[in-house]
A and B are shown apart, each in its own frame.
Chain A
């Protein structure tokens, strides 16, 4: 049999068909899932893998690991059948393919006749899977067993027969079994739909053509990412270090040290072995070897419409070195629940590597903020997991994004929150001056102020970048820090530890939450005065900051040109990076 070749036209048609299938899966999941985590916050993703388990068409999320490999390791393909569904959330046995236990992965093989041709994945964050505290993730945990039930790679459906007992055990371990049931049903229905669509694609184009198409998509992405890596990084080693503040158990800061080496024969290696030791608290990020390449890949792809986010990015890196026992490769059973903030710093550190080499990556962003409020109201226990947006880093050609959480994840509208939970929102707005000053301003974070209506509730808080805010670059300054304060401006005022659990709040307490911004890009004195004025009028920048950071004098809603010219004549000398002060190298 000759090697089938997928021509460029068929390739594009296939790509469109796969994207449409993904859109259908996502629509189904979004509409039918039960937990607010999925339905309002939309913490779910879908993907298609080739027959060997390589991610061929993913989502635009740079945090994916090598998701199919753990299933293939536990269940050799020879034993797989049509109608199978595999399931896991086991971080350690999957080498960080999922990086905290709340994320459930459902993976189904797709066959053409007897030949295994592809895998379809549905992935979603489940609101509660047991563990130490409601919501399963908590700053208090010290091992992964406190973060809920662990599902090793499991054959949940064998040729159409569902292992109901496994599901029941899982639901019984959740504090909110109805949500667990509903979300599981939705995720399973979504993957089943994806399998059907992929089968249709296989029938329409033939398995050999589909296989060739997936191979080409992977090769195309890998080629582009390798080309861009070579354009960005001269031969040699490039280093960047970023920091998280604390692990919530009195330890920290923790440094992540990244080194990217391009060898004379154009191999690309990432080495993180100089990263600090693992943490006691749950900020460890079990970084799958695919993550750095996927993130760099997504950056290099930019908005290129010819490209898809897939394993081609990860394949473009020849090696990723980690050190067991470090923050990025903790030893079992270290806790992982709040790895999100470390993951967000890893993305910033990769931006830093590109910037160190003179590339055009954004400045650093803040890690999105999460709070979990649990208690009892009207005789029902409740769990409110609220994700609050932050500012993203300024870019060489654009401001950073204001007030967003992350890709695809939405907020809880105020009216929705108040209808569903015993809180009242007093304020929800832009946190002024939180965006790092720059020619391209860093995005601003948010202010979200809650009044507690439950008699008693326990709060878990996760903010990072308080001591070490996001850095600015190319003359841009660092972004603002977040904080959480109870009853601000009253005699009962207390500032909460940014990463803490067990904070007791009672009816009438006010919780003020401010989230961090993104770093700026370029010297703030190069930002046109009228744009700075607009920032002031719109509540992003205060008049004081406009003068002190941007050198723009604003009086009564207008720019004072003379005062601005005089201030800007005395231009501060910038360093390569800025975090609280200009420096040439961040340590």
Chain B
């Protein structure tokens, strides 16, 4: 079966507590969701349990499965925690300390007296030099000395590492040396995972490329093993359908691709959410969105215009820069677990987080510090139990924690709670503004889509501060990643930094690579598309803009100038430099099936709660999300409850259930 054909589609999203499985049956337009406890020791166990459960729920056999979609955080967690396989780096003679030096800076936001340089993922003792040198443009200045590779291989054997990264000077312009070194090392070091930088990031700037290669090498064994486990278990269950994995670029790719460059999954979790948000927005007929994914410790913010999810090559994972093409979003340290505290008479919120253990004080797991979630509890925003009764909240503990912040500031309990929320919101607002401006947009022209467990509590407050009048609450804000998996196409980017090379030839080469890849992923020719993108700047500038290739250099330069003017407000007479070319390959997968709501009979309140709004304390109606039908509407103040989230509809806002399942909140003007 080709990938483009239909069949049952299964999406598996593994969270810290639960593994969520969604099955989509194109034939019947049915979507079923199943939930099973996660198995942190061997996540593939819950993966399979969930898949079996889902198949059973739709009464289907293993051979009816058309494809299995999955997002993995194995790479993400290893990088953030500084873990992974022990690794070595092979570099050009003279550059052993490339990682240690980095960009030679104390970060702009750091205090130079207090800052400590983060320990590199590979220490210099594990960096080996080989004799060779390629110059700018790809000229070979010193031929590769294979004896030096043999010496390095011997040393690596002594080090006993599980992975090796190879990154040689200017290899993006002349990959032969690097590939040869990688081949020699693979032959000399059986069982060791070897990564060549040109297979990860064939772009100029040796520190960033070396770092990406090292990170890739370090996560490769764990990701490979994990993907292998999934495949084995799927096969044992009789499922022969291809396994597709989410990548940071918002597309999926086959297991083989991910094994080769597992780093492409580093930010796949948030990327899946963004792709899901895009699909949900499209179903409700909104294409200009600012999405805010608020979890326990952080918030991911993304802006999409005309339904386009933009890519960036200026992303970061933890403390490390990662210039791989990835969904253009920013992550900030503000979430439900962000801790509020008083220092020097100032009220600070985040970036320190109580995490999931001990978590907010109201969880009753021993957390003493007031968190954003505790502030919500104090104000009556959250019901006494969450997750359908699986989790109870303790308002007395929340109040005690918030009071500890309120007292030194001479604030009332409720004012302190509102203050904590206002500060957390303000942090997110700042990030949203930076995201908008960097991309040349005015946030007022966008709808705001909050998601993640805590998102819908903050949506309207954020919108008010941004002067946004529409807030979209997805049908299942807590499991938007699954929607993203179902909505994603296959995607890959083929990039190359160009210096004096023939651009047309490079594009042609990259397109050939793209076609080969799409073929290897079993995409029918009719479903393949590739786009040429140029990363350009004015001669001398440090930041490139990505513009679609307009057929030739002159037309593309004109498009660049127009984009520069739109973004920054000026153009220059200087020459335009083409830094990197990129071919974006897409394999189209069938549109996901979207269930629709049946028409409603009018919204009715299922109960009420005492909520302390800024305008005063009110008995506020509670609505059950699952009971809302298409067209049902009501005015705020109100609280909407559902299994995976709670939505706050403040005074001055109204809500309407859209047929696509999205709850549309609108601000009454004036």
Taking Cβ atoms with an 8 Å cutoff, the residues of A that contact B are 7-9, 11-13, 16-17, 19-20, 23-24, 26-28, 30-36, 38-40, 42, 59-60, 62, 178-179, 181-182, 185-186, 189, 192-193, 197, 220, 224, 298-299, 301-307, 361-362, 387-389, 392, 395, 398, 401-411, 413-416, 418-419, 424-430, 446, 449, 534, 537-540
Q: Which of A40, A299, A361, A429 is in CB contact (< 8 Å) with B95?
A: A429
**Contact between chains at A415 and B170 (CB < 8 Å):** yes
Report Cα–Cα, A17/B124, bound state, in Å: 41
Residues of A within 8 A of B411 (CB): 7-9
Q: Which residue of B lies closest to A360 (CB)?
A: B113
**Contact between chains at A538 and B124 (CB < 8 Å):** yes
Q: What does the 1/0 interface line of B198-216 toward A look like (CB < 8 Å)?
A: 0000001111000000000
**Contact between chains at B109 and A60 (CB < 8 Å):** yes
Q: List 7 A-B pairs, minimum CB-CB distance, nearest first.
A: A39-B542, A20-B430, A31-B543, A9-B419, A411-B104, A408-B108, A537-B125
**Contact between chains at A185 and B423 (CB < 8 Å):** no
Q: Which residue of A lies closest to B571 (CB)?
A: A185
Q: A185-B570, A419-B204 are in contact. Are A306 and B105 (CB under 8 A)?
A: no
- Flag whether B431 is at the interface (Cβ < 8 A): yes
**Contact between chains at A220 and B543 (CB < 8 Å):** no
Report Cα–Cα, A446/B418, bound state, in Å: 51
Known: A224-B344, A430-B97, A539-B96. 7 other contacts (CB 8 A): A402-B117, A407-B106, A413-B103, A413-B207, A414-B169, A418-B136, A446-B104
B465 → A minimal CB distance (Å)? 8
A536 → B minimal CB distance (Å)? 9
Residues from 112 to 152 in B contacting A, C-beta threshold 8 Å = 112-117, 123-125, 135-136, 141
Q: A11, A12, A23, A62 — which one has the most chain B CB atoms within 10 A of its CB? A: A12
B427 → A minimal CB distance (Å)? 6
Q: A189-B569, A304-B343, A407-B106 are in contact. Are A39 and B124 (CB under 8 A)?
A: no
**Contact between chains at A181 and B572 (CB < 8 Å):** yes
**Contact between chains at B574 and A178 (CB < 8 Å):** yes
Residues of B within 8 A of A39 (CB): 540-543
Residues of B within 8 A of A430 (CB): 97, 100-101, 124
Report Cα–Cα, A263/B292, bound state, in Å: 54
A515 → B minimal CB distance (Å)? 11
Residues of B within 8 A of A62 (CB): 112
Q: What does the 1/0 interface line of B495-537 toward A look like (CB < 8 Å)?
A: 0000100000000000000000000000000000000000000
**Contact between chains at B94 and A419 (CB < 8 Å):** no
24 interchain pairs (CB within 8 A)?
A: A7-B419, A12-B349, A23-B434, A24-B437, A31-B543, A36-B540, A59-B108, A178-B574, A302-B111, A306-B345, A362-B113, A398-B116, A401-B106, A401-B116, A407-B106, A408-B106, A413-B103, A413-B205, A415-B169, A416-B204, A428-B97, A429-B95, A429-B101, A538-B123
Q: Which of A30, A302, A404, A418 is in CB contact (< 8 Å) with B113?
A: A302
**Contact between chains at A30 and B347 (CB < 8 Å):** no
**Contact between chains at B101 and A389 (CB < 8 Å):** yes
- Flag whether B538 is at the interface (Cβ < 8 A): yes
- Flag whether B346 is at the interface (Cβ < 8 A): yes
Taking Cβ atoms with an 8 Å cutoff, the residues of B that contact A are 94-98, 100-101, 103-117, 123-125, 135-136, 141, 169-170, 204-207, 343-349, 409, 411, 415, 418-419, 422-423, 426-427, 429-431, 433-434, 437-438, 499, 538-543, 564, 568-570, 572-574
A103 → B minimal CB distance (Å)? 17
**Contact between chains at B96 and A429 (CB < 8 Å):** yes
A363 → B minimal CB distance (Å)? 12
Residues of B within 8 A of A19 (CB): 430
Residues of B within 8 A of A407 (CB): 105-108, 110, 112
Report Cα–Cα, A60/B105, bound state, in Å: 13
Q: A39-B543, A403-B101 are in contact. Are A8 and B345 (CB under 8 A)?
A: yes
Report Cα–Cα, A28/B434, bound state, in Å: 10
Residues of A within 8 A of B106 (CB): 401, 404, 406-408
Q: Which of B95, B344, B422 is in CB contact (< 8 Å) with A220?
A: B344
Q: A34-B540, A220-B345 are in contact. Are A410 and B104 (CB under 8 A)?
A: yes
Residues of B within 8 A of A427 (CB): 94-95
A275 → B minimal CB distance (Å)? 24
Q: Which of A17, A185, A408, A414 is in CB contact (< 8 Å) with B105?
A: A408
Q: Which residue of A lies closest to B96 (CB)?
A: A429
Q: Which residue of B lies closest to A362 (CB)?
A: B113
Q: Which of A12, A24, A302, A415 is in CB contact (< 8 Å) with B434?
A: A24
**Contact between chains at B117 and A298 (CB < 8 Å):** no
Report Cα–Cα, A402/B573, bound state, in Å: 41
Q: B114, B204, B438, B570 — which one has the most chain A CB atoms within 10 A of its CB? A: B114
Residues of A within 8 A of B430 (CB): 16-17, 19-20, 23
Residues of B within 8 A of A416 (CB): 204-205
**Contact between chains at A539 and B105 (CB < 8 Å):** no
Report Cα–Cα, A283/B442, bound state, in Å: 47
B462 → A minimal CB distance (Å)? 13
Q: Which of A299, A304, A389, A411 is in CB contact (< 8 Å) with B344?
A: A304
Q: B111, B347, B429 — which one has the most chain A CB atoms within 10 A of its CB? A: B111
Q: A410-B103, A415-B169 are in contact. Are A20 and B117 (CB under 8 A)?
A: no
Residues of A within 8 A of B418 (CB): 9
Q: A13, A35, A303, A304 — which one has the most chain B CB atoms within 10 A of its CB? A: A13
